[in-house]
Amino acid sequence: NTPIESTAGGRPCVVMLSTNHGWLGLDPKTGEEIWSYKDAYTFRSVGSIAESDGILFASMGSGGGGKQATLLRINATPTPEVLASFNVKGGNAKGLPYVPCPIIQDGLMYWWDDGGTVTCFDLAKKEIVYQNRAGVGQFFSSPVLVDGKIYNASRDGVMFVIKAGREFEKLAENKLDSGVNATPAVALGRMFIRTETHLISLKNK
């Protein structure tokens, strides 16, 4: 996965996660270890870490699905607080992403798994709000949230749109020219979608 920057715990750090070393919070200037958390991780870390107000989440997996995940809160100590753990062996790993990255807004975290199932998770209550299938196919792209809507495109070249919030609502399903592996980029009132054959620019109305 791609490391992220965080200032939670009162000190800037670079956060990374790997199978062998677990979670590490490192000083960006010196490389000094500020905090760490190690679990019995046995799967690969591909999707990037999501963060909101000092709460971190990342999922690990293999074979096209998420198998293991951890929800942490960074504090001012060398050991973060574990808020929740998910593991396929514990039976609570359904819907975890492997490749797509989660997104967080307004206290809700959204997982879009590799098969098109979306999970809305309440960070304060640490419980699932809903879990519904938004689309079919395989997803390498990560969802993006724009103006209250969540977008993601499949490797078959279909863009799915759902409403952000506590209730699942599918808004649209649009066929693109070819498959999508890359996450859409949003800038200057436009969404840029890179398919296997074209770069598409969509303007906000």
Domain closes at, from 78, 98, 118: 98
Per-position b or e across 134-165, b if 16+ CB within 10 A of its CB? bbebebbbbbbbeeeebbbbbbebbbbbbebe
Q: Is the pLDDT of residue 39 over 90?
A: no
Structure pTM? 0.92
Instruction: Calculate mean pLDDT across residues 138-152.
Output: 97
Tokens for 170, please give them: 């599918």
Domain closes at, from 45, 74, 98: 98
Residues 17 and 79 reside in one and the same domain: yes
Domain closes at, from 98, 118, 139: 98
Could you give the CA distance from residue 28 to residue 84 in angstroms, rounded to a whole number?
27
What is the chain's mean pLDDT, rounded? 95
> Which residues form the domain of 62?
1-98
Q: Would you call 9 helix, strand, or coil by DSSP?
A: helix
